[in-house]
Amino acid sequence: MAYVKKLFDENFLYYASYVIKDRAIPDLEDGLKPVQRRIMHTLFEADDGKYHKVANIVGSCMKYHPHGDASIYSALVVLANKELFIDRQGNFGNLYTGDEASAARYIECRATPLAKDVFHNPKITTWVDSYDGRNREPELYPAKLPVLLIIGAEGIAVGMSTRILPHNPLEVIQAEIACLKGKKFNILPDFPTGGIVDASEYDEGMGRVRVRARLDLSDPKRIVIREIPFGTTTESLIESIENAARSGRIKVASINDFTTETAEIEVRLQRGTYAEEVVDSLYAFTQCEVSISCNLLLIKEGQPVLMRVGEIVRHHAERLVDILRRELKIEEGELKDELHARTLERIFIEERVYKRIEDKKTQEAVNKAVFDGLAPFQKEIKREVLAEDVERLLKIPIRRISLYDIEKARAEMARLNARLKEVRAHLATIVDYAIKWLEGIAKKLGPTWKRKTEVKGFGHVDAREVAKRDLVVRYDRQSGYLGTAVSGGENLFSISSFEKVLVIRRSAYWSVVPAPEKLFVDEGMLHAAVADKDELADVVFSIVYKEGATGYPCIKRFQIEGWIMNKDYQLLSEGSQVLWFTVAKAASITLRYVKKPRIKGLEGHFRLGDYDVKGIKANGVRLAAREVESAEGMDSPSPARRAKAPELFDAVPQKPSARKPAPVKKKK
């Protein structure tokens, strides 16, 4: 057993680590999940400027991704619909309606110039073997932008999940520029479907946002939805409106969907209903307003970590400077090598060093002749001449020597020197160079990437406040059923579908339940009311009962302040019998005692106000030390009754104390 547990723990940990790192959670460095990274690698490999069938890209990507073509295809479609790194052609689905993309053999794609600028640089990319060892793939791309914030991400792994909202590329770039300049910045989500976002609780990616549809209220008899909240579709939005209409929360005459490349849902209202009256109900009961929780979980240096938006921007600002420095260093080295080669070539041809090898008969002699011919020009060369340099010179064709253009060679040397000087200047002011690079990318994106989602604070619409109390609760004493679907009986009160009902049964058990359609309580229910704590704060419940052990009458007065839904609570001890119940604050009670020999006075009169209101769990107060037969109360006395017995209905003292029952005098 211990071995099995050890085996299970080890394998589960391995599986969990694999799912977290290699499937579900994106990496901080390039913002991509493994399948997305492999798709981009396949597109770069196949790049020839033309479109490629998605089916071909999926097939080629399977060399790197071992989880089947379906996962590759769906990931490619989602990434292409971001409209940033994949140029698409054909039907890739509709973000508004939720329609699926065409089959992979019908649609085409290719990598965009932005993708090449941001990701593609094989010289500084770290490469690893593919899963079968036959190919090489990038471990991580040296991304120059915080792609994670631009495209967003969702993923569920073992024991953790991530939800990163997309942001506007231009705003992310501006934030990175501000970071490089040492200024403050703040970026908020921007959704491809538009809408209005309240980001007051965003908390830099660790809180939540509320997103609303954009409503056109220009016509008072109809509402046109022009933009929908992120994460919804026109189909799901229409379904939520239909459900609200069926439940009576919104009065809708018809719904028409005219969505094409943009959302357009027409909601026509019933006669007598106007657009301004329905707006709050749409936000409260439909997907016209949704709340989106965020969880900015990502992989950093091989470990899952939680980060904030500002931390990611600052990390990538430093990362961009480092990547650009490495690129410039590589270019500087290449320029030096090119200048060295061009200098040797010029000397070899212009100074006719090649003439020295005409009479040489061995390779060693030829090489020595070239070395000796270049030696006088060592100051101009500025670098040690190696055997590889000599080998390269000896491979120059005769045609090239005969057609050698001195002026053209000098112009090329001047260009290389100018570029080398420029590269060194960029290295000296690397932060300014990074800012210029970001500004160049922003200029390319500027015309097509304006903010789509309006940032605006709006109040919270409470569904309970918007909901109307249009459901009538009825109670049928004959059948013992209570609820909104009970056909017979008496009407008790009206509630909304969001409210709860307090039920006190004849058995002295009470509970709070959601608004019932048809609930069996019993044939003698004591009380039912809307279970609203504010409304119950002023209600005092009074119950007169007979003790099970002695048969003596007792009274219990209490308030209900809290509860657990659908839980039964007991008011009285086992065996006790309810005699009378009321919620009146001023009332009188008449008790009729059991007739016994030599005892006179078979009735006792009591006043509610003489007894304190105690906790609901407290025991009752004994009214008399005599066995009681029945009780009768007067909740709302008539003026004649009050005039006849004013002592029973006088005003209750501010601090009443429990009255002890008068001793019973026995007849001698």
Rounded CA-CA distance 642/629 in Å is: 25
| Interval 423-441: pLDDT, tens | 999 999 999 999 999 999 9
Residue 316 has a pLDDT of 95
More confident residue, 247 or 505: 505
pLDDT at 164 over 70: yes
CA–CA distance from 496 to each of 464, 469, 470, 527, 529 (Å)? 8, 4, 6, 19, 13
Q: What's residue 584's pLDDT?
A: 87
pLDDT attached to residue 159: 80
Indicate whether 258 pLDDT > 90: yes
CA distance 284 to 288: 8
Q: Is the dihedral of CA 646, 647, 649, 654 positive or negative?
A: positive
Q: What is the mean pLDDT of residues 539-556?
A: 91
Report the amino acid identity of residue 512. V
Cβ-based neighbours of 431, under 8 Å, separated by 6 or more: 180, 321
Binning pLDDT at 50, 70 and 90, where does residue 635 land?
A: low
| pLDDT value of position 655 | 35
Q: Under 8 Å CB-to-CB from 136, ≥6 apart: which residues?
A: 127, 128, 129, 130
- Phi then psi for residue 604, to 5 deg, are -135, 140
- 584-620 tens-digit pLDDT: 877 888 899 988 887 777 888 888 888 889 888 888 9
314-448 maps to CATH 1.10.268.10? yes
Give the pLDDT mean for 26-43.
Answer: 94
pLDDT in tens, 132-155: 999 999 999 999 999 999 999 998
* Range 382-394 average pLDDT: 87
The pLDDT score that the predictor gives to residue 467 is 61
157 pLDDT band, cuts 50/70/90, is confident
Asked if residues 89 and 226 have their Cβ atoms less than 8 Å apart, the reply is: no
Q: Can you give the pLDDT at residue 24?
A: 86
Per-residue confidence band for 656, with pLDDT thresholds at 50, 70 and 90 = very low
Tell me the average pLDDT across 547-562. 90
Statement: residue 382 has pLDDT above 70: yes
Question: Residue 296: its pLDDT value, please?
Answer: 93
The proportion of the chain whose per-residue pLDDT surpasses 90, expressed as a percent, equals 52
CATH class belonging to 214-287: alpha beta
User: Does residue 470 contact residue 248 with C-beta atoms inside 8 Å?
Assistant: yes
CB crowding 443-474: b at 16 or more within 10 Å, else e: eebeeebeeebeeeeeeebebeebbeeebebb
Of the ranges 74-83, 108-117, 527-536, which one carries the lowest mean pLDDT score? Answer: 527-536
pLDDT attached to residue 665? 43
Q: Which two tokens stand for residue 193?
A: 């479907």
CA 417 – CA 467 distance, rounded (Å): 76
Residue 621 has pLDDT above 50, yes or no: yes
Say how many CA atoms lie within 13 Å of 441 toward its Cβ: 23
Residue reference for tokens 């030599």: 598
pLDDT at 211 over 60: yes
Residue 282: phi and psi, rounded to 5, are -60, -45
User: Helix, strand, or coil here: 546?
Assistant: strand
pLDDT over 50 (residue 651):
no
Q: Is the pLDDT of residue 667 over 90?
A: no
The total of other beta-carbon atoms located within 10 Å of residue 425's CB is 12
pLDDT at 299: 92
162-171, 228-237, 491-500: least confident range: 491-500
DSSP-assigned states of every residue in 302-366:
TEEEE--HHHHHHHHHHHHHHHHHHHHHHHHHHHHHHHHHHHHHHHHHHTTGGGGGTT--SHHHH
Token duo for residue 391: 């080998």
Mean pLDDT of 548-565: 90
Residue 327 has pLDDT above 60, yes or no: yes
Which two tokens mark 208? 């939540």
Residue 286 DSSP label: S
Closest among 571, 515, 521, 502 to 543, alpha carbons compared: 571
Asked if 370 contacts 393 with a C-beta cutoff of 8 angstroms, the reply is yes
Measure the CA–CA gap between 269 and 220, rounded to whole angstroms: 9
For the ranges 85-99, 259-273, 505-519, 631-645, which has the lowest average pLDDT? 631-645
Count Cβ neighbours within 10 Å for each residue of 613-641 and write b for 16 or more, e otherwise.
beebeeebbebbebebeebebbeebeeee
Active-site residue list: 106
The 10 Å Cβ neighbour count of residue 558 is 17
| DSSP conformational letter for 572 | S
Segment 557-575 mean pLDDT: 90
Single-letter amino acid, residue 642: R
- The type of residue at 556 is K
* Tens digit of each residue's pLDDT (9 = 90 or more) over 437-473: 999 999 999 878 999 999 998 876 665 555 666 678 8
pLDDT given at position 277:
85
| Lowest-confidence segment of 7-21, 52-66, 96-110 by average pLDDT | 7-21
The mean per-residue pLDDT over the stretch 513-523 comes to 87
Note the pLDDT tens digit of each residue in 401-428. Answer: 888 788 888 898 899 999 999 999 999 9
pLDDT score at 232: 94
The answer to whether the CB of 175 falls within 8 A of the CB of 313 is yes
Count of helix runs (H) and strand runs (E) in the chain? 19, 32
Per-domain residue ranges for the chain? 32-142, 214-287, 314-448, 463-648
**Average confidence score pLDDT of the chain:** 87
Work out the pLDDT band at 250, boundaries 50, 70, 90.
confident
Q: What is the mean pLDDT of residues 364-390?
A: 87
Distance separating alpha carbons of residues 46 and 52, to the nearest angstrom: 8
- CATH node for 32-142: 3.90.199.10
Of the candidates 25, 634, 611, 30, the residue with the CA atom closest to the CA atom of residue 320? 30
Q: Where are the beta strands (DSSP E) in 124-250?
A: 126-129, 136-140, 153-157, 160-164, 196-198, 208-212, 214-216, 222-227
Contact of 146 with 31, CB cutoff 8 Å: yes
Rounded to whole angstroms, how far apart are CA atoms 220 and 545? 59
Q: Is it the case that residue 659 has pLDDT exceeding 50?
A: no
